[in-house]
Structure 1
Amino acid sequence: MIAKAPVPGRVKTRLTPPFTPQQAAGLAEAALGDTLHTLSTVPAGLRLLVLDGEPGDWLPPGWQVVPQSGVGLDERLAAAFAHAARLAPGAPALLVGMDTPQLSAAALAEPLSAARRAGVDAWYGPAADGGFWALGLARPTPELAARLLHGVPMSTPHTGRSLLERITEAGLTIHQLDELADVDTAEDARRVAAEAPHSRFAARLHGAELAPGVTG
Structure 2
Amino acid sequence: MTSADTTFPLAILAKAPIPGQAKTRLIPQLGAEGAAALHRRLVWQTLETAVVATKPEAITLWTSLAHPGSPDYAFFATCRERFGIQLREQPVGDLGWRMHTALATMPGPGMVIGCDCPMLTPDLLKRCYAALQSADCVFLPAEDGGYALVGVCRAEPFLFDDIDWGSDRVMRQSQERIEALGWRSACPAMVWDIDRPEDLIRWQSWQQVPT
TM range (shorter): 0.7 to 0.9
Paired residue total = 187
3-state SS, counterpart of residue 30 of structure 2: coil
Give the partner amino acid of 2:172. Answer: R
Alignment partner for residue 58 of structure 2, among 43, 46, 50? 46
Q: In the TM superposition, what are the counterparts of 1:68-87 in structure 2 within 5 Å? A: 68-82=90-104, 84-85=105-106
Name 2:151's counterpart in structure 1. Answer: 136
Alpha-carbon distance in structure 1 between the residues aligned to 2:205 and 2:87: 31
Give the partner amino acid of 1:46. Answer: A
Q: Which ranges in structure 1 are unaligned for 5 or more consecutive residues?
A: 199-216
Q: Is the 2:42–2:118 Cα contact (8 Å) retained in structure 1? A: yes
Alpha-carbon distance in structure 1 between the residues aligned to 2:118 and 2:77: 18
Displacement, 1:105? Answer: 1.3
Residues 155-214 of structure 1 show CA distances to partners (whole Å, capped at 9, x for unaligned) of: 00111110111112111111103111111112111212333349xxxxxxxxxxxxxxxx
Of residues 14-23 and 42-51 in structure 1, the stretch that sits farther from structure 2 once superposed is 42-51
More helix by share: 2
Give the partner amino acid of 2:194. Answer: V
Alpha-carbon distance in structure 2 between the residues aligned to 1:56 and 1:17: 29
Q: In the TM superposition, what are the counterparts of 1:1-216 in structure 2 within 5 Å? A: 1-44=12-55, 46-53=58-65, 54=73, 55-59=76-80, 60-82=82-104, 84-85=105-106, 89=107, 91-113=108-130, 116-140=131-155, 144=156, 146-197=157-208
From the superposition, tell whether residues 152 and 28 of structure 1 become closer, same or farther in structure 2 (CA, over 3 Å).
same
Alpha-carbon distance in structure 1 between the residues aligned to 2:190 and 2:79: 26
Alpha-carbon distance in structure 1 between the residues aligned to 2:25 and 2:39: 12
Displacement, 1:100? Answer: 0.7
Across the aligned residues of Structure 1 and Structure 2, the Cα RMSD in angstroms comes to 1.8
3-state SS, counterpart of residue 20 of structure 2: coil
Alpha-carbon distance in structure 2 between the residues aligned to 1:163 and 1:79: 17
Q: Is the 2:132–2:152 Cα contact (8 Å) retained in structure 1? A: no
Displaced runs of 4 or more, over 4 A: none
Displacement, 1:50? Answer: 1.1
> Could you state the TM-score of these two structures normalised by the residue count of structure 2?
0.81
Q: Is the 2:140–2:190 Cα contact (8 Å) retained in structure 1? A: yes
Alpha-carbon distance in structure 2 between the residues aligned to 1:111 and 1:154: 22
Q: Is the 1:70–1:79 Cα contact (8 Å) retained in structure 2? A: no
Q: Which ranges in structure 2 are unaligned for 5 or more consecutive residues?
A: 1-11, 66-72
Give the partner amino acid of 1:72. Answer: D
3-state SS, counterpart of residue 16 of structure 1: helix
> Could you state the TM-score of these two structures normalised by the residue count of structure 1?
0.80
Q: Is the 2:79–2:85 Cα contact (8 Å) retained in structure 1? A: no
Residues 98-143 of structure 1 show CA distances to partners (whole Å, capped at 9, x for unaligned) of: 1012311121223423xx5432110011011001111000123xxx
Q: Is the 2:129–2:151 Cα contact (8 Å) retained in structure 1? A: no
Give the partner amino acid of 1:121. Answer: D
Alpha-carbon distance in structure 2 between the residues aligned to 1:64 and 1:47: 6
Identity of aligned residues (%): 27
Displacement, 1:58? Answer: 4.1
Alpha-carbon distance in structure 1 between the residues aligned to 2:186 and 2:89: 29
